[in-house]
Structure 1
């Protein structure tokens, strides 16, 4: 009888160790959800009306925009994005809302528009080099390629026999 209880304790220890090991290994596989940007409140967004609201009333209702247009009428953008990430993988957008509030010349709201995930673009870098147009030069050509070119006549160097002297003559 004593031997069977000893086996039971050993089995329980192995089972407990296996459960703890499995919990530790799967804890790195948890999903991470994050929110970035503006917290969209549908009721507040729907209350912005073209022809009625202006910049001051939009800011009082929605707050400061995430960013604003630098040229043109100065449209305001409110960006909201929910991301999901599994362990060490790259984060992926789950939902996105870009709220654009357009203003006319007098600062009154002319249009309110929304876009979603359809505007998200996936950019995949190609290898470890950025392709460029033009000559393909080696490291040594880049380092030593300009030797003798600095100050050469006709290259913008000052004061040679073909250019004006320091007094302009």
Structure 2
């Protein structure tokens, strides 16, 4: 094989590699988050008999619980699709809500999902801050116009 044939071969090999990388970059990647008990596990829970402790013991502790008076256990499972440079898309989401009465006994089990026509928004942020998108230097220079010499003299 002479030098020009080697160059042609390396150009072809580089082209095939670029095409393979382009195709691989455009494939969907799926990520799963959370945990939802199976129907078999939920069938073991008896409404009106099981308590918080027995539910946690039989199917595990949830990722979230009720905000007001610990009214229930909420198991959430989400599946996200990543495609190229696009923002991740929620493909499926399931929520299993196990509700308790004042005595801590199971009063109901419900399952919700995207197919129910309700999008269940999950936001990890509890409070928002107006400072998060500013750098230290931008904050420092932004305060220069707010300087009041009269406040320093008094």
Which of 57, 79, 82 does residue 54 from structure 2 map onto?
57
SS in 2 for 1:24: helix
Match of 1:23 in 2: 20
CA RMSD for the aligned pairs? 3.3
Q: Is the counterpart of residue 81 in structure 1 residue 42 in structure 2?
A: no
d(CA) in 2 for partners of 1:83 and 1:72?
Answer: 31
SS in 1 for 2:48: coil
Match of 2:134 in 1: none
Higher relative contact order (CA 8 A, sep 6+): 2
Higher radius of gyration, 1 or 2: 1
CA drift at 1:40: 3.5
Unmatched tracts of structure 1, length 5 or more? 1-5, 124-129, 131-138, 152-169
Match of 1:120 in 2: 120
d(CA) in 2 for partners of 1:17 and 1:87?
Answer: 22
Q: Retained in 2: the 8 A contact 1:31–1:84?
A: yes
Unmatched tracts of structure 2, length 5 or more? 124-129, 131-141
CA drift at 1:92: 1.0
- TM-score, structure 1 normalization: 0.62
Q: Call closer, same or farther: CA 1:48–1:122 in 2, change over 3 Å.
A: closer
CA drift at 1:146: 10
- TM-score, structure 2 normalization: 0.67
Which of 68, 85, 90 does residue 87 from structure 2 map onto?
90
Q: Is the counterpart of residue 143 in structure 1 residue 137 in structure 2?
A: no
Q: Call closer, same or farther: CA 1:147–1:77 in 2, change over 3 Å.
A: farther
More helix by share: 2
